[in-house]
């Protein structure tokens, strides 16, 4: 049974920081890519940051480059998203998602992501 469990969301003032964590279980972790997506009200879900669990390669959407950092802990099967210098436009529901057969093809194509968490709310005021 595949599970992705997010934690760490909350409310923060502009310029502040939050750290999101995603705990994954139930599939072959090492061959996968994990990514954080977000969806704001009235907007499409967009990829924010992703990481290839095999080689550690990362990818970011332009709007968060230099502010967000994604990291992995293979021993714990977790992926964290450190979010700094938060802006009101970062407000959204953030989802952790897994592409279990990524094999080095890290992408923000939502169709590749077979497993999704329930989401955690991030509010920046």
Q: What is the pLDDT of residue 113?
A: 95
Q: What is the pLDDT of residue 122?
A: 98
**Distance between CA atoms of 16 and 124, rounded to whole angstroms?**
8
| CB neighbour list of residue 70: distance below 8 Å, 6 or more residues apart | 36, 49, 50, 51, 58, 60, 79, 80, 81, 82
Residues of the chain with pLDDT under 70: none
Q: pLDDT (tens digit, 9 = 90+) per residue, 26-53?
A: 877 777 899 999 999 999 999 999 999 8
Q: What is the pLDDT of residue 95?
A: 97
Q: Decide: 43 and 89 in contact? Cβ < 8 Å.
A: no
**Distance between CA atoms of 36 and 88, rounded to whole angstroms?**
18
């Amino acid at each position: 049974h595949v599970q992705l469990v997010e934690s760490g969301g909350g409310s923060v003032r502009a310029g502040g920081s939050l750290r999101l964590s995603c705990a994954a279980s139930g599939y072959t972790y090492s061959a996968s890519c994990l990514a954080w997506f977000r969806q704001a009200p009235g907007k499409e879900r967009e990829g924010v940051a992703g990481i290839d669990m095999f080689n550690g390669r990362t990818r970011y959407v332009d709007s968060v480059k230099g502010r967000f950092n994604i990291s992995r802990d293979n021993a714990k099967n977790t992926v964290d998203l450190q979010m700094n210098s938060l802006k009101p436009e970062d407000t959204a529901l953030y989802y952790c998602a897994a592409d279990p057969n990524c094999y080095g093809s890290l992408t923000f194509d939502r169709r590749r992501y077979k497993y999704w968490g329930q989401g955690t709310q991030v509010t920046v005021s």
